[in-house]
């Protein structure tokens, strides 16, 4: 079985593309696991199409590197991975509509629940296998989950003959913040939660840590960690950058027009940029229709001919212009939008957002090209594999 891959960007068809390094994914999984207790399982969070990287190849790479769980947000995301042949343990982190319950149970997925009504609906679902649930507890995020004070009553209402309580979890709201007080409160509350759950369901898996919790809070490891952004090569905060991570995605494009202009020449909508002197303005075929933040207009940069150059004027839907000055640039020259010498963290900061959003915004019309090791030794050279990725 193969995972389809888009055209090789060295050909004429792909003018803008995202390169996704699957060896970097494997490196990051192993690096994060190295700082976890040996008994703590690793969940690769691949919701939102693996943060825009491509859920199927990313999940496959993470499982091969040592992840034992996959985390998704919706039933559709779960079923897409199952249909692709991915068989790791899987948890749907968001609510599951009643009509989708039978399908995801049949697919071997665990479901998140926050109240007795959801548990009852799952128990009544027509299924040949016992449903598995993870109870979400709200310890301070105030998004989803049952209040800790109501947990005991909920646990007593569960009929173990009809539903298996496989786990319980919470989500940390401030684990990436330097101030530890909120996270300490949440972990203390969840530790009490875990004791309650395990008293009634001793084999239940308790989990609280996201990437920040996994890297910065050793006592947040519990039985499982749910790793998202760190697996994609970005530290969740500057003070949590101790584990060596490798960036996974590089977004690239090509110059489609280069034009010499004189001082005062207006560029893009609204003429918000005017050339300060004689210069070269190049056009790159990527815009907000591809996910490039419009907020980067006049403040962002890209890399052309080995150096950073400014975005000139507003980002358009399909194009962005750059002022490359006196650099020798021609049509077809490669442009780095982010990655390599221009980290995604810097681009996100310039746009007033975070790398999570920057990755997720990269649109479907941008082909993903997956890199795999050219030989068994992962330290060897890598090359695009446009024909597809051989499943392990």
Encode pLDDT of 307-366 as tens digits. Answer: 999 999 999 999 999 999 999 999 999 999 999 999 999 999 999 999 999 999 999 999
Q: Are residues 190 and 260 in the same domain?
A: no
pLDDT at 373: 78
Range of the domain at 286: 249-371
Q: Are residues 219 and 76 in the same domain?
A: yes
Q: Are residues 198 and 260 in the same domain?
A: no
pLDDT at 8: 54
Q: Are residues 285 and 204 in the same domain?
A: no
Could you give the number of structural domains in the chain? Answer: 2
Q: Are residues 224 and 291 in the same domain?
A: no
User: pLDDT-derived band of residue 12, with 50, 70 and 90 as boundaries?
Assistant: very low
Residue ending a domain, choose from 201, 231, 261:
231
Cα 50 from chain centre: 5
Q: What is the mean pLDDT of the chain?
A: 92
pLDDT at 379: 42
218-256 burial string, b = 16+ CB within 10 Å, else e?
Answer: eebbbbbbbbbbbbbbbbbbeebeebebebbbbbbbbbb
Over 70: is that where the pLDDT of 26 sits?
yes
Which residues is 164 bridged to in the sheet?
132
Mean pLDDT of 84-112: 96
> Quick check: is 389 in a domain?
no
- 58-75 pLDDT, tens digit per residue, is 999 999 999 999 999 999
Q: Are residues 122 and 165 in the same domain?
A: yes
> Quick check: is 91 in a domain?
yes
Over 90: is that where the pLDDT of 7 sits?
no
**Between residues 374 and 83, which one has the greater pLDDT?**
83
User: pLDDT-derived band of residue 217, with 50, 70 and 90 as boundaries?
Assistant: very high
CA torsion sign for 34, 36, 41, 47 is negative
Which residues is 89 bridged to in the sheet?
69
Give me the CATH number covering residue 91: 3.20.20.10
Q: Are residues 183 and 258 in the same domain?
A: no
Over 80: is that where the pLDDT of 11 sits?
no
Q: Are residues 71 and 174 in the same domain?
A: yes
> Quick check: is 195 in a domain?
yes
**Residue where the block lists tokens 């975005």:** 311
> Quick check: is 291 in a domain?
yes
> Quick check: is 27 in a domain?
no
Q: Are residues 160 and 283 in the same domain?
A: no
pLDDT at 2: 36
> Quick check: is 3 in a domain?
no
Calculate what percentage of the chain has a pLDDT beyond 90: 90
Mean pLDDT of 124-146: 94
So which residues are the catalytic ones? 47, 269
> Quick check: is 141 in a domain?
yes
The pTM for the full model equals 0.92
Q: Are residues 165 and 97 in the same domain?
A: yes
Mean pLDDT of 130-139: 97
Residue ending a domain, choose from 231, 264, 287:
231
pLDDT at 112: 98
Give me the CATH number covering residue 295: 2.40.37.10
Q: Are residues 68 and 210 in the same domain?
A: yes
Q: Are residues 180 and 71 in the same domain?
A: yes
pLDDT at 374: 55
> Quick check: is 53 in a domain?
yes
- 245-301 pLDDT, tens digit per residue, is 999 999 999 999 999 999 999 999 999 999 999 999 999 999 999 999 999 999 999
Burial of 173 (C-beta count, 10 Å sphere; 0-12/13-18/19+): middle
């Amino acid at each position: 079985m193969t995972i389809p891959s888009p055209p090789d960007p060295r050909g004429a068809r792909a003018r803008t593309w995202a390169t996704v390094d699957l060896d970097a994914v494997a490196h990051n999984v192993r690096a994060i696991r190295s700082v976890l207790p040996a008994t703590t399982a690793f969940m690769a969070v691949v919701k939102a199409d693996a943060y825009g990287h491509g859920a199927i190849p990313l999940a496959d790479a993470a499982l091969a590197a040592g992840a034992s769980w996959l985390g998704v947000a919706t039933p559709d995301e779960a079923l897409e991975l199952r249909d692709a042949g991915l068989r790791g343990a899987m948890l749907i982190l968001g609510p599951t509509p009643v009509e989708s319950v039978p399908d995801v149970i049949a697919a071997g997925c665990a479901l998140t629940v926050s109240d007795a009504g959801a548990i009852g609906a799952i128990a009544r679902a027509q299924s040949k296998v016992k449903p598995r649930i993870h109870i979400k507890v709200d310890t301070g995020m105030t998004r989803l989950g049952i209040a800790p004070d109501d947990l005991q009553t909920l646990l007593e209402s569960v009929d173990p003959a009809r539903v298996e309580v496989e786990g319980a979890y919470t989500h940390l709201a401030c684990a990436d913040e330097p101030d530890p007080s909120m996270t300490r409160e949440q972990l203390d509350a969840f530790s009490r939660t875990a004791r309650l759950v395990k008293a009634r369901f001793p084999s239940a898996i308790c989990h609280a840590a996201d990437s920040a919790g996994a890297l910065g809070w050793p006592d947040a490891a519990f039985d499982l960690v749910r790793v998202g952004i760190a697996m994609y090569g970005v530290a969740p905060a500057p003070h949590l950058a101790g584990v060596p991570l490798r960036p996974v995605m590089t977004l690239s494009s090509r110059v489609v027009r280069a034009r010499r202009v004189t001082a005062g020449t207006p560029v893009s909508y609204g003429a918000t940029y005017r050339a300060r002197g004689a210069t070269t303005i190049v056009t790159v075929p990527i815009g907000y229709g591809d996910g490039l933040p419009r907020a980067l207009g006049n403040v962002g940069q890209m890399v052309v001919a080995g150096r950073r150059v400014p975005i000139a004027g507003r980002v358009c839907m399909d194009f962005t212009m750059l002022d490359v000055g006196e650099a020798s640039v021609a049509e077809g020259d490669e442009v780095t939008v982010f990655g390599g010498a221009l980290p995604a963290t810097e681009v996100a900061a310039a746009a007033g957002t975070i790398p999570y959003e920057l990755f997720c915004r990269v649109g479907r019309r941008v082909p993903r090209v997956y890199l795999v090791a050219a030989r068994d030794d992962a330290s060897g050279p890598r090359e695009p594999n446009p024909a597809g990725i051989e499943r392990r």
